[in-house]
Amino acid sequence: MEPENKAEPKKVVFSAIQPSGTITLGNYLGALKNWIALQDRYDCIYALADLHTITVRQDPAAFRRNTLEAYALLLACGIDPRKSLFFIQSHVPTHAQLAWILDCYTQFGELQRMTQFKDKSAKHPDNVNAGLFTYPSLMAADILLYQTDLVPVGVDQKQHLELTRNIAERFNGIYGPVFRIPDALIPEKGAKIMSLQDPAKKMSKSDSNVNASVAVLDRPDDIMRKFRRAVTDSEACVRYAPGKNGINNLMGIYSCVTGETMAQIEADFAGKGYGAFKAAVGEAVAEHLRPIQERYADYIKNRDYLEQCWNESGQKAFSISVRTLRKVMKKVGFLPPRRR
Protein backbone atom coordinates (compact mmCIF):
# COMPACT_ATOMS: atom_id res chain seq x y z
CA MET A 1 0.00 0.00 0.00
CA GLU A 2 1.48 3.31 -1.10
CA PRO A 3 1.85 6.00 1.57
CA GLU A 4 -0.52 8.91 1.34
CA ASN A 5 0.88 12.06 -0.23
CA LYS A 6 1.09 14.71 2.42
CA ALA A 7 -0.01 18.14 1.32
CA GLU A 8 2.86 20.61 1.09
CA PRO A 9 2.77 23.22 3.87
CA LYS A 10 1.45 26.58 2.79
CA LYS A 11 3.98 29.34 2.27
CA VAL A 12 4.09 32.08 4.88
CA VAL A 13 3.10 35.63 3.86
CA PHE A 14 3.83 38.63 6.08
CA SER A 15 2.70 42.21 5.60
CA ALA A 16 1.97 45.23 7.77
CA ILE A 17 0.41 48.66 7.49
CA GLN A 18 0.74 51.71 9.70
CA PRO A 19 -2.29 52.97 11.68
CA SER A 20 -1.27 56.56 11.08
CA GLY A 21 -4.61 57.96 9.99
CA THR A 22 -7.02 57.58 7.11
CA ILE A 23 -6.81 54.41 5.03
CA THR A 24 -7.18 55.41 1.42
CA LEU A 25 -8.57 53.73 -1.65
CA GLY A 26 -4.93 53.44 -2.73
CA ASN A 27 -4.06 51.49 0.44
CA TYR A 28 -7.08 49.25 -0.07
CA LEU A 29 -6.70 48.50 -3.79
CA GLY A 30 -2.91 48.53 -3.75
CA ALA A 31 -2.43 46.30 -0.70
CA LEU A 32 -5.39 45.34 1.47
CA LYS A 33 -7.58 43.86 -1.26
CA ASN A 34 -4.65 41.67 -2.19
CA TRP A 35 -4.16 40.66 1.46
CA ILE A 36 -7.71 39.36 1.55
CA ALA A 37 -7.25 37.31 -1.61
CA LEU A 38 -4.10 35.67 -0.23
CA GLN A 39 -5.76 34.21 2.88
CA ASP A 40 -6.99 31.02 1.22
CA ARG A 41 -3.67 30.24 -0.49
CA TYR A 42 -1.11 31.06 2.18
CA ASP A 43 -0.50 31.18 5.93
CA CYS A 44 -0.96 34.93 6.29
CA ILE A 45 0.44 37.02 9.13
CA TYR A 46 -0.68 40.64 9.16
CA ALA A 47 0.13 43.47 11.57
CA LEU A 48 -0.70 47.05 12.38
CA ALA A 49 2.81 48.53 12.43
CA ASP A 50 2.32 51.02 15.25
CA LEU A 51 6.00 50.95 16.27
CA HIS A 52 6.88 52.29 12.83
CA THR A 53 4.34 55.08 13.18
CA ILE A 54 6.14 56.91 15.99
CA THR A 55 9.10 57.88 13.79
CA VAL A 56 6.81 60.87 13.20
CA ARG A 57 5.54 62.55 16.37
CA GLN A 58 1.99 61.43 17.25
CA ASP A 59 -0.74 62.90 19.42
CA PRO A 60 -1.30 60.06 21.95
CA ALA A 61 -5.11 60.20 22.00
CA ALA A 62 -5.34 60.39 18.21
CA PHE A 63 -2.77 57.59 17.88
CA ARG A 64 -4.80 55.25 20.09
CA ARG A 65 -7.99 56.13 18.20
CA ASN A 66 -6.34 55.63 14.80
CA THR A 67 -5.02 52.22 15.86
CA LEU A 68 -8.41 51.07 17.11
CA GLU A 69 -10.20 52.34 13.99
CA ALA A 70 -7.61 50.88 11.63
CA TYR A 71 -7.93 47.46 13.26
CA ALA A 72 -11.73 47.55 12.90
CA LEU A 73 -11.48 48.77 9.32
CA LEU A 74 -9.06 46.06 8.22
CA LEU A 75 -11.37 43.42 9.67
CA ALA A 76 -14.20 45.08 7.74
CA CYS A 77 -12.11 44.94 4.56
CA GLY A 78 -11.98 41.16 4.92
CA ILE A 79 -9.08 40.06 7.10
CA ASP A 80 -10.44 36.93 8.77
CA PRO A 81 -8.95 36.11 12.21
CA ARG A 82 -10.00 32.48 11.68
CA LYS A 83 -7.71 32.25 8.65
CA SER A 84 -4.93 34.74 9.40
CA LEU A 85 -3.02 36.21 12.30
CA PHE A 86 -3.77 39.92 12.62
CA PHE A 87 -2.10 41.63 15.54
CA ILE A 88 -0.81 44.97 16.78
CA GLN A 89 2.96 45.15 16.41
CA SER A 90 3.69 46.78 19.79
CA HIS A 91 1.86 43.92 21.54
CA VAL A 92 4.55 41.47 20.36
CA PRO A 93 7.87 42.52 21.97
CA THR A 94 10.00 40.19 19.83
CA HIS A 95 9.77 42.73 16.99
CA ALA A 96 11.61 45.47 18.87
CA GLN A 97 14.09 43.01 20.39
CA LEU A 98 15.12 41.47 17.07
CA ALA A 99 15.22 44.92 15.46
CA TRP A 100 18.03 45.98 17.84
CA ILE A 101 20.05 42.87 17.04
CA LEU A 102 19.57 43.42 13.30
CA ASP A 103 20.63 47.07 13.71
CA CYS A 104 24.03 45.65 14.59
CA TYR A 105 24.12 43.67 11.34
CA THR A 106 22.95 46.52 9.11
CA GLN A 107 25.48 48.88 7.57
CA PHE A 108 25.24 52.66 7.99
CA GLY A 109 25.63 53.17 4.25
CA GLU A 110 22.74 50.81 3.52
CA LEU A 111 20.39 52.78 5.74
CA GLN A 112 21.65 56.07 4.33
CA ARG A 113 20.59 55.04 0.85
CA MET A 114 16.97 54.33 1.80
CA THR A 115 14.63 56.55 -0.21
CA GLN A 116 12.03 56.72 2.56
CA PHE A 117 14.59 58.12 5.01
CA LYS A 118 15.46 60.88 2.57
CA ASP A 119 11.81 61.69 1.86
CA LYS A 120 10.68 61.74 5.51
CA SER A 121 13.74 63.71 6.58
CA ALA A 122 12.82 66.37 4.04
CA LYS A 123 9.18 66.39 5.22
CA HIS A 124 10.07 66.52 8.94
CA PRO A 125 13.40 68.39 9.15
CA ASP A 126 12.76 69.25 12.80
CA ASN A 127 12.55 65.55 13.80
CA VAL A 128 15.15 63.51 11.92
CA ASN A 129 15.40 60.89 14.64
CA ALA A 130 17.37 57.66 14.95
CA GLY A 131 14.20 55.57 14.61
CA LEU A 132 13.53 57.13 11.21
CA PHE A 133 17.03 56.11 10.15
CA THR A 134 16.88 52.53 11.48
CA TYR A 135 13.24 51.98 10.44
CA PRO A 136 14.28 49.38 7.79
CA SER A 137 15.92 47.16 10.42
CA LEU A 138 12.62 47.00 12.31
CA MET A 139 10.88 46.19 9.04
CA ALA A 140 13.41 43.40 8.46
CA ALA A 141 12.70 42.06 11.97
CA ASP A 142 8.95 42.11 11.27
CA ILE A 143 9.46 39.91 8.22
CA LEU A 144 12.25 37.59 9.37
CA LEU A 145 10.71 36.69 12.74
CA TYR A 146 8.09 34.53 11.02
CA GLN A 147 10.39 32.72 8.56
CA THR A 148 8.43 34.49 5.84
CA ASP A 149 8.43 33.16 2.29
CA LEU A 150 6.62 36.01 0.54
CA VAL A 151 6.06 39.71 1.22
CA PRO A 152 3.35 41.55 -0.75
CA VAL A 153 5.00 44.81 -1.81
CA GLY A 154 4.29 47.64 -4.18
CA VAL A 155 6.96 48.51 -6.73
CA ASP A 156 8.11 51.43 -4.56
CA GLN A 157 8.73 49.16 -1.54
CA LYS A 158 11.12 46.72 -3.16
CA GLN A 159 14.13 48.63 -1.80
CA HIS A 160 13.20 47.78 1.79
CA LEU A 161 12.66 44.12 0.96
CA GLU A 162 16.04 43.97 -0.80
CA LEU A 163 17.68 45.33 2.35
CA THR A 164 15.83 42.72 4.43
CA ARG A 165 17.21 40.00 2.16
CA ASN A 166 20.73 41.47 2.44
CA ILE A 167 20.54 41.55 6.25
CA ALA A 168 19.27 37.96 6.39
CA GLU A 169 21.93 36.71 3.99
CA ARG A 170 24.65 38.52 5.94
CA PHE A 171 23.47 36.98 9.24
CA ASN A 172 23.14 33.52 7.69
CA GLY A 173 26.60 33.87 6.19
CA ILE A 174 28.06 34.39 9.66
CA TYR A 175 25.98 31.97 11.74
CA GLY A 176 24.44 29.45 9.34
CA PRO A 177 20.85 29.11 8.08
CA VAL A 178 18.86 31.03 10.69
CA PHE A 179 16.54 33.13 8.51
CA ARG A 180 14.47 32.17 5.49
CA ILE A 181 15.16 34.58 2.62
CA PRO A 182 11.85 36.20 1.62
CA ASP A 183 10.75 36.97 -1.92
CA ALA A 184 8.55 39.79 -3.18
CA LEU A 185 4.94 39.12 -4.10
CA ILE A 186 3.84 41.91 -6.44
CA PRO A 187 0.17 42.01 -7.51
CA GLU A 188 -0.51 42.08 -11.23
CA LYS A 189 -2.83 45.07 -11.03
CA GLY A 190 -3.71 47.75 -8.56
CA ALA A 191 -0.12 47.78 -7.30
CA LYS A 192 0.08 51.56 -7.40
CA ILE A 193 -2.97 53.80 -7.26
CA MET A 194 -2.14 57.39 -8.11
CA SER A 195 -3.38 60.76 -6.85
CA LEU A 196 -6.61 61.97 -8.45
CA GLN A 197 -5.17 65.49 -8.70
CA ASP A 198 -1.57 64.68 -9.63
CA PRO A 199 -1.50 61.26 -11.31
CA ALA A 200 2.29 61.37 -11.53
CA LYS A 201 2.50 60.64 -7.78
CA LYS A 202 1.05 57.95 -5.53
CA MET A 203 -2.29 58.49 -3.75
CA SER A 204 -1.43 59.50 -0.19
CA LYS A 205 -3.40 60.21 2.95
CA SER A 206 -0.95 63.02 3.74
CA ASP A 207 -1.74 64.94 0.55
CA SER A 208 -2.75 68.52 1.38
CA ASN A 209 -5.30 68.51 -1.48
CA VAL A 210 -8.49 66.93 -0.10
CA ASN A 211 -9.58 65.97 -3.63
CA ALA A 212 -6.40 63.99 -4.33
CA SER A 213 -7.33 60.88 -2.37
CA VAL A 214 -10.42 58.87 -1.51
CA ALA A 215 -10.74 57.40 1.97
CA VAL A 216 -12.29 53.96 2.41
CA LEU A 217 -14.77 55.52 4.84
CA ASP A 218 -15.66 58.52 2.64
CA ARG A 219 -19.39 59.14 2.12
CA PRO A 220 -20.74 58.32 -1.38
CA ASP A 221 -21.33 62.02 -2.14
CA ASP A 222 -17.70 62.83 -1.32
CA ILE A 223 -16.48 59.92 -3.44
CA MET A 224 -18.51 61.10 -6.42
CA ARG A 225 -17.29 64.69 -6.02
CA LYS A 226 -13.63 63.66 -5.90
CA PHE A 227 -13.89 61.49 -9.01
CA ARG A 228 -15.75 64.18 -10.96
CA ARG A 229 -12.84 66.54 -10.20
CA ALA A 230 -10.17 63.98 -11.09
CA VAL A 231 -7.45 65.21 -13.46
CA THR A 232 -7.47 63.60 -16.93
CA ASP A 233 -6.35 65.05 -20.29
CA SER A 234 -7.76 66.90 -23.29
CA GLU A 235 -8.36 63.86 -25.52
CA ALA A 236 -11.69 62.93 -23.84
CA CYS A 237 -11.37 59.33 -25.04
CA VAL A 238 -11.45 56.44 -22.56
CA ARG A 239 -8.34 54.68 -23.81
CA TYR A 240 -5.39 53.18 -21.92
CA ALA A 241 -2.19 54.52 -23.44
CA PRO A 242 1.27 55.84 -22.49
CA GLY A 243 1.21 59.42 -21.30
CA LYS A 244 -2.48 59.36 -20.33
CA ASN A 245 -1.67 59.13 -16.62
CA GLY A 246 -4.95 60.48 -15.32
CA ILE A 247 -7.27 58.31 -17.38
CA ASN A 248 -4.96 55.29 -16.98
CA ASN A 249 -5.26 55.67 -13.21
CA LEU A 250 -9.05 55.90 -13.35
CA MET A 251 -9.22 52.87 -15.61
CA GLY A 252 -6.97 50.96 -13.22
CA ILE A 253 -9.24 51.81 -10.30
CA TYR A 254 -12.36 50.85 -12.25
CA SER A 255 -10.73 47.57 -13.28
CA CYS A 256 -9.85 46.75 -9.65
CA VAL A 257 -13.39 47.26 -8.33
CA THR A 258 -15.31 45.74 -11.27
CA GLY A 259 -12.94 43.03 -12.53
CA GLU A 260 -13.15 44.32 -16.09
CA THR A 261 -10.09 44.34 -18.34
CA MET A 262 -8.81 47.52 -20.00
CA ALA A 263 -10.17 46.28 -23.34
CA GLN A 264 -13.63 45.75 -21.84
CA ILE A 265 -13.60 49.20 -20.27
CA GLU A 266 -12.60 50.80 -23.57
CA ALA A 267 -15.43 48.96 -25.34
CA ASP A 268 -18.00 49.87 -22.66
CA PHE A 269 -17.18 53.56 -22.85
CA ALA A 270 -16.48 53.90 -26.58
CA GLY A 271 -17.90 57.21 -27.79
CA LYS A 272 -18.56 58.43 -24.24
CA GLY A 273 -16.74 61.34 -22.68
CA TYR A 274 -14.72 61.60 -19.52
CA GLY A 275 -17.68 63.00 -17.57
CA ALA A 276 -19.66 59.78 -17.97
CA PHE A 277 -16.62 57.65 -17.19
CA LYS A 278 -15.68 59.60 -14.06
CA ALA A 279 -19.25 59.24 -12.77
CA ALA A 280 -19.17 55.50 -13.48
CA VAL A 281 -15.87 55.10 -11.62
CA GLY A 282 -17.23 57.04 -8.64
CA GLU A 283 -20.41 54.95 -8.52
CA ALA A 284 -18.47 51.69 -8.82
CA VAL A 285 -16.07 52.68 -6.02
CA ALA A 286 -18.89 53.86 -3.72
CA GLU A 287 -20.79 50.61 -4.25
CA HIS A 288 -17.65 48.51 -3.72
CA LEU A 289 -16.90 50.29 -0.43
CA ARG A 290 -20.48 50.25 0.88
CA PRO A 291 -20.39 46.76 2.51
CA ILE A 292 -16.97 47.53 4.02
CA GLN A 293 -18.35 50.69 5.61
CA GLU A 294 -21.36 48.78 6.95
CA ARG A 295 -19.16 46.10 8.52
CA TYR A 296 -16.87 48.76 9.98
CA ALA A 297 -19.84 50.46 11.66
CA ASP A 298 -20.62 47.13 13.39
CA TYR A 299 -17.03 46.33 14.41
CA ILE A 300 -16.18 49.74 15.84
CA LYS A 301 -19.08 49.42 18.30
CA ASN A 302 -17.80 46.06 19.56
CA ARG A 303 -14.56 46.84 21.43
CA ASP A 304 -14.65 43.50 23.28
CA TYR A 305 -14.54 41.56 20.01
CA LEU A 306 -11.70 43.68 18.64
CA GLU A 307 -9.65 43.13 21.81
CA GLN A 308 -10.31 39.40 21.65
CA CYS A 309 -9.06 39.27 18.05
CA TRP A 310 -5.87 41.24 18.61
CA ASN A 311 -5.05 39.50 21.90
CA GLU A 312 -5.45 36.00 20.46
CA SER A 313 -3.48 36.85 17.32
CA GLY A 314 -0.80 38.63 19.34
CA GLN A 315 -0.29 35.63 21.61
CA LYS A 316 0.02 33.29 18.62
CA ALA A 317 2.39 35.70 16.86
CA PHE A 318 4.59 35.85 19.96
CA SER A 319 4.74 32.07 20.27
CA ILE A 320 5.86 31.77 16.63
CA SER A 321 8.28 34.70 16.61
CA VAL A 322 10.00 33.91 19.92
CA ARG A 323 11.33 30.66 18.42
CA THR A 324 13.22 32.64 15.81
CA LEU A 325 14.40 35.21 18.36
CA ARG A 326 15.76 32.53 20.70
CA LYS A 327 17.64 30.91 17.85
CA VAL A 328 19.14 34.28 16.85
CA MET A 329 20.19 35.06 20.43
CA LYS A 330 21.78 31.65 20.86
CA LYS A 331 23.73 32.06 17.61
CA VAL A 332 24.97 35.51 18.58
CA GLY A 333 26.07 34.23 22.01
CA PHE A 334 23.67 35.75 24.51
CA LEU A 335 23.43 33.90 27.81
CA PRO A 336 19.93 32.40 28.01
CA PRO A 337 17.65 33.32 30.92
CA ARG A 338 16.04 30.70 33.11
CA ARG A 339 12.73 29.70 31.52
CA ARG A 340 9.75 30.68 33.65
- Alpha carbons 52 and 136: distance in angstroms, whole number: 9
Q: Taking Cα atoms as reference points, which of 144, 191, 186 lies closest to residue 163?
A: 144
Return the DSSP state at 4.
P
Contact 146, 9 (CB under 8 A): no
Cβ burial 28-67 (10 Å sphere, 16+ → b, else e): bbbbbbbbbebbeebbbbbbbbbbbbebbebeeeebeebb
Length of the chain: 340
Q: In what order do the strands lie in the sheet with 12-17?
A: 85-88, 43-48, 12-17, 150-152, 183-185
60: left (phi over 0), alpha (psi -120 to 50) or beta: alpha
Instruction: List, by residue number, the catalytic residues.
Output: 120, 202, 205
Q: Tell me which residue of 114, 130, 125, 42 sits closest to 85, measured CA to CA.
A: 42
Element spanning 87, H or E: strand 85-88
- DSSP at 201: S
With the CA atoms of 214, 219, 222 and 226 taken in that order, what torsion angle do they form, in degrees rounded to the nearest 10? 30
Pairing mode, strands 85-88 and 43-48: parallel
